[in-house]
Structure 1
Amino acid sequence: MNLTSHAEIPVITEDMLRRLDVPGPRYTSYPTADRFVEAFAVEQYCQALAARATGAGTVGGAQPLSIYVHIPFCESVCYYCACNKVITRHHERATEYLDALEQEIALHVERLGRGQSVSQLHFGGGTPTFLSDAELARLMGALRAAFQIGAGAEVSIEVDPRTVTAERLKHLAELGFNRLSFGVQDIDPDVQQAVHRVQSLQSVKDLMAAARELGFQSTNVDLIYGLPRQTPESLANTVREIAALRPDRIALYAYAHLPQRFKPQRRIDEQTLPKAEAKLSMLSQAIAGFISHGYNYIGMDHFALPEDSLAAAKRQGRLHRNFQGYSTQPDCDLIGLGVSAIGRVGPTYSQNAKTLPEYYDALRHGQLPVVRGLALTRDDLLRRAVIMALMCQGRVEFESIELAHLVDMRRYFASEFEQLGPLQQLGLIEIEPGAIQVTPLGWYFVRAVAMVFDRHLQADRARERFSRII
């Protein structure tokens, strides 16, 4: 299912919104990161790396790696931010961090061997462009010395438009980055003031033009709806202006206001946050707006131009979802480098220490800084396959799941099929003899459909740790 025209955008009633706009995971993984346990630590992670190195459980050799590098530093705080970050204007702090990253890379080389093939490399944060040109060159040099980054690899970096110039973009291109993700969030001055992130639209336009001239394969713009002082009208203007810039991809995230978990959000006046009905209007208008400008709605929070590889992957059933969101990359092992970084190796997830002192201390003792994680059970793997099929393709084919996991779908998920009944009555899904199909209406609430198959969530109902679906 693929929304491609304004006429296909469904109408959502207030009653439906009240029933379905509940907290729930974004399912960049299953089980979700809140299920990680400290019983899974560095020893278990090293065992997973050893299994990959020896080829245990693989057929025809290991798939290329994906690598995520977390750069936590930011010069100033954005009030909406829920990322793991360190606010500082002391750029000299990057030196110690790069020393630690190089040691973490070396520890992985010890266990995996030098020259592991890499098909995807992503720098996130924080603000990766907090690093100077020389520091970025140093880090890329360390990664290239340790891994074999393929000629066709996707090499991307998150960019704060306030921290780069056209000259810096040129340097990024020279280092091998071929994809840029610009954090814009909103172009309205009042909203920018409310979230402490002021930047001009002209600066974004200039950087987008420079990126095209430099030959970057893809540009992405990140936006957020549901921010303080934001209205359907102001967001509609942001949608028009950004769509006119023709970025290859657009990510439109729902703001999750969780001040009890994220301290910077306490600086936001809750009275200025839009209500659920306004947020729904923003989402539906944004989807309509981007579609009218020629974008394909990929799902949940992503849009892409029809010729972009993400749109092609959606059409061809090759879409995947990982800790960075929707991706064209096949299901592959992910090495997470840096403070708080999450990785996935074989049937395991792992996460590094969340604070710099703890991260540094582990590496000083010659240990990988993994402090928690999870070894997936057979049930976890089965449910992950179902949830990712829903989130990526909007369709679960029973036969493919049954052959891969040796189960009878209707028997194994008997209670889940009962819970799907009301969602079918609401028009979110269609249950066919051999498949579950998400409808155009269901794409708005695809997380609610996936939640039915989340055994952990169904068991404890402790959902307030998650953002709301709309």
Structure 2
Amino acid sequence: MNTQLIRKYNVPGPRYTSYPTVPYWDETGLDPGDWESTLIKAFAESYDDGISLYIHLPFCESLCTFCGCHKKITKRHSVEDPYIKTVLKEWKLYTELLPITPIIKEIHLGGGTPTFFSPDNLKRLIYGILDEAETAEQVEFSFEGHPNNTTKEHLQALYDLGFRRVSYGVQDYDPHVQFAINRIQPFDTVKRVHEWSKEIGYTSVNHDLVFGLPHQIKESIRDTIEKTNELRPDRIAFYSYAHVPWIKGNGQRGFNDEDLPKDDEKRGLYELGKHMFYENEYVEIGMDHFALRSDGLYEAMQYGNLHRNFMGYTAGATKVMIGLGMSAISDSWYSFAQNEKNIKDYEQRVERGEIPIFRGHILNETDLMIRRQILNVMCRFETEFDGSEHQFRQIKTRLSELEEDELIRISGRTIRVTETGIPFVRNVCMAFDLKLHKNKPKEKLFSQTV
């Protein structure tokens, strides 16, 4: 890895799970009627394709100090029942709004810690969702499991409901690193739940690993990936740690800044990991993801069906994604809408019979065009620019340095990311981001790109 390139391009930048990115959503807010009309429009246009559901289950029993998610720390499991009732009421508001019964293609349970909830309560939640909908012939139901509290009963209950994909948050196996991030989980614990998953019949098991954590060094990354390769998960997400304490407050102050690997040292951890994945027959998929050739994510990339949204990379695109639960984000392609981030506010809005959104963004034609470009770059590492000549000249000028550094190639209106440029894909996307360049942030908003 070229350390000069790392130092040059390691700047704050978005992860582009959406365009426009959340800080650039319309400051005047989102009128609920506008959100509902764009949702109904997209639903009608893509009815046969089905919809995706993201259900946010925010509770955790302890705080992981590297985490940037919206969560609620509690050991009181009495919170499960009222929260599920509220989520199902919110879902009922949507099914009453939609003109015909929705077809569900995807469900993803995220958090927080979905396996904080008991197997019986998770079954009640999913039965309640499916009672108000039909399911597509080919569905992808997935959930995030915490290795420390995912039981065989959890896995069997969700498998019986149609779940075939599970993602385990591993992060790192080094005890020193685990202590710093308050995430103590021995390898044997992960091995147990991984093997249970395969024994029950899950066809895609993902492990989340993170590089750039406090006290991480090459030896700890090497040991973590050797252990991961021993279990041979179908997918691996190898994320860059996003150090954003100015956004997440004390939750990311469980260690000192000097404990974090910096710049080329941090990227060296990624390059080591990537090399080890390649040696074990994993293929790089999009940004920071790897999969075996037998996994659906690899197939989606081969056939050009790979998609990226607030749930991350998925094997198929739906035009409509409805987010249920506190802080969940919905996407109608033409607009984004985020739910109230405070549980009490969320529950009160739903009890009043309101879809509980508090902010969002309606995309104009330029937004939609740029969104397509960024999705292409993120999912296929290339795009054919279909905007105006003036816009293309602007973007081409911003891409000139990346082209000189051989991170991209431009031929006509086609922009391709080179193999050298893949680690800098966020920087490439930033060149397309008209809103970012029109209104550069005066304060810290994003994590470092490399």
TM-score band, normalised by shorter chain: over 0.9
Q: Aligned residues: percent identity?
A: 37
Cα displacement (A) at 1:168: 2.6
Question: For 2:210 and 2:132, how far apart are their aligned partners in 1?
Answer: 36
Mapping of residues 96-245 of structure 1, within 5 Å: 96-113=82-99, 115-245=101-231
Among 427, 439, 445, the residue aligned to 1:460: 439
1:268 correspondence with 2:255: yes
Cα displacement (A) at 1:165: 2.2
Q: 5+ unaligned residues in a row in structure 2: which ranges? A: none
1:332 correspondence with 2:327: no
Conserved in 1, the CA contact under 8 Å of 2:17 and 2:308? yes
1:292 correspondence with 2:279: yes
Tell me what 2:30 maps to. Answer: 40
Tell me what 2:269 maps to. Answer: 282
Question: For 2:280 and 2:190, how far apart are their aligned partners in 1?
Answer: 19
Conserved in 2, the CA contact under 8 Å of 1:41 and 1:350? no
**In structure 1, the residue corresponding to 2:8 is in which secondary structure?**
helix
Question: For 1:171 and 1:309, how far apart are their aligned partners in 2?
Answer: 23
Question: For 1:355 and 1:337, how far apart are their aligned partners in 2?
Answer: 13
Cα displacement (A) at 1:62: 5.1
**In structure 2, the residue corresponding to 1:229 is in which secondary structure?**
coil
Tell me what 2:39 maps to. Answer: 49
After superposition, give the CA deviation of every residue in 1:228-282 in whole Å (9 maximum; x if it has no partner): 1111221111111102211110001111111121121022221211111211100
Cα displacement (A) at 1:77: 0.3
Question: For 1:389 and 1:156, how far apart are their aligned partners in 2?
Answer: 24
Cα displacement (A) at 1:166: 2.4
Mapping of residues 308-323 of structure 1, within 5 Å: 308-323=295-310
Mapping of residues 372-383 of structure 1, within 5 Å: 372-383=359-370
Mapping of residues 73-112 of structure 1, within 5 Å: 73-112=59-98
Of stretches 115-124 and 267-276 in structure 1, the one that deviates more from structure 2 is: 267-276
Tell me what 2:18 maps to. Answer: 29
User: What is the identity, as a one-letter code, of the residue corresponding to 2:252?
Assistant: Q
Cα displacement (A) at 1:88: 0.1
Question: For 1:114 and 1:213, how far apart are their aligned partners in 2?
Answer: 39
Question: For 2:204 and 2:21, how far apart are their aligned partners in 1?
Answer: 29
User: What is the identity, as a one-letter code, of the residue corresponding to 2:304?
Assistant: G
**In structure 1, the residue corresponding to 2:244 is in which secondary structure?**
coil
After superposition, give the CA deviation of every residue in 1:381-433 in whole Å (9 maximum; x if it has no partner): 111111111111111124xx3xxxxx44x443211111211111101001112
Relative distance call for 1:217 and 1:114 in structure 2 (3 A) is farther
Tell me what 2:56 maps to. Answer: 70
Conserved in 2, the CA contact under 8 Å of 1:178 and 1:218? yes
Question: For 1:419 and 1:395, how far apart are their aligned partners in 2?
Answer: 16
TM-score normalised by length of structure 2: 0.96
Relative distance call for 1:240 and 1:443 in structure 2 (3 A) is same
Conserved in 2, the CA contact under 8 Å of 1:52 and 1:112? no
Cα displacement (A) at 1:339: 0.4
User: What is the identity, as a one-letter code, of the residue corresponding to 1:464?
Assistant: K
**In structure 2, the residue corresponding to 1:441 is in which secondary structure?**
coil
Tell me what 1:15 maps to. Answer: 4
Question: For 1:149 and 1:272, how far apart are their aligned partners in 2?
Answer: 48
Relative distance call for 1:41 and 1:82 in structure 2 (3 A) is farther
Question: For 2:137 and 2:42, how far apart are their aligned partners in 1?
Answer: 23
Relative distance call for 1:331 and 1:117 in structure 2 (3 A) is closer
RMSD over aligned CA atoms reads 1.5
After superposition, give the CA deviation of every residue in 1:182-220 in whole Å (9 maximum; x if it has no partner): 111111111101100101101111111111111112110
User: What is the identity, as a one-letter code, of the residue corresponding to 1:451?
Assistant: M
Tell me what 1:425 maps to. Answer: 404
Of stretches 455-464 and 241-250 in structure 1, the one that deviates more from structure 2 is: 455-464
Question: For 2:411 and 2:394, how far apart are their aligned partners in 1?
Answer: 17
Cα displacement (A) at 1:346: 4.0
Conserved in 1, the CA contact under 8 Å of 2:50 and 2:136? no
Question: For 2:274 and 2:105, how far apart are their aligned partners in 1?
Answer: 31
1:437 correspondence with 2:416: yes
Question: For 2:400 and 2:25, how far apart are their aligned partners in 1?
Answer: 31
After superposition, give the CA deviation of every residue in 1:353-399 in whole Å (9 maximum; x if it has no partner): 0001110111121101011111001000111111111111111124x
1:360 correspondence with 2:347: yes
TM-score normalised by length of structure 1: 0.92
User: What is the identity, as a one-letter code, of the residue corresponding to 1:65?
Assistant: I
1:469 correspondence with 2:416: no
User: What is the identity, as a one-letter code, of the residue corresponding to 2:122?
Assistant: L
Q: 5+ unaligned residues in a row in structure 1: which ranges? A: 1-11, 402-406
Tell me what 2:378 maps to. Answer: 391
User: What is the identity, as a one-letter code, of the residue corresponding to 2:70?
Assistant: N
After superposition, give the CA deviation of every residue in 1:139-198 in whole Å (9 maximum; x if it has no partner): 011111012122420000000001112233122212221110011111111110110010
User: What is the identity, as a one-letter code, of the residue corresponding to 2:312?
Assistant: G
Question: For 1:141 and 1:283, how far apart are their aligned partners in 2?
Answer: 41
User: What is the identity, as a one-letter code, of the residue corresponding to 2:13?
Assistant: G
